[in-house]
Amino acid sequence: MAGMDEVRSGAADETRAPGVDALMAGGPIVLFDGVCNFCNATIQFVIERERTPALRFAPLQSELAQGLLERVFGVDEATRLLRGVSGEGDPDSVVLIEDGHGFTHSTAAVRLARHLRAPYRWLAALIVVPRVIRDAAYRWIGRNRYRWFGKTETCRVPTPALRARFLA
């Protein structure tokens, strides 16, 4: 299923990640590279411009993210998402889990824009651009994000006010 932007929930056995279905039913979840400075800044941008505080967040480096990915995408695709296409160990995509579906790469980013206030939510119109073009731009930025913006050794620690929205 590599390269798929969406896979129906239930791809893996629930026993691998107990409680994952309950988490997914609680609203959209954004999984992001927690050691990427660009990714952390993007999450902060989203939090500050979200229409309503409905999104919840977790770093891809967490056990919770692995369980969610296995549940939504299956074990093989979850491993690929966590280690990147190159297999070098760095995630290569933000993941949006919404309504029992998982979205990756540019589709996740564009669907995430729907949760923002105007004018940022208008970026959701980019969904009409063919995915191959959107993903090429997304992957180019993804390949260069550490070089351009740096990398931290630890995942971000949310403020006390945001702690409840960070699942891991």
Domain, as residue range, for 110: 6-165
Is 105 among the domain residues?
yes
pLDDT at 12 over 50: no
Is 137 among the domain residues?
yes
Is 36 among the domain residues?
yes
pLDDT at 97 over 90: yes
Residues with Cβ within 8 Å of residue 44, at least 6 apart in sequence: none
Minimum mean pLDDT among 2-11, 76-85, 104-113, 127-136: which range? 2-11
Is 1 among the domain residues?
no
Domain count for the chain, please give it.
1
pLDDT of residue 7: 42
Is 59 among the domain residues?
yes
pLDDT of residue 9: 44
Question: Which residue would you say has higher pLDDT here, 87 or 102?
Answer: 102
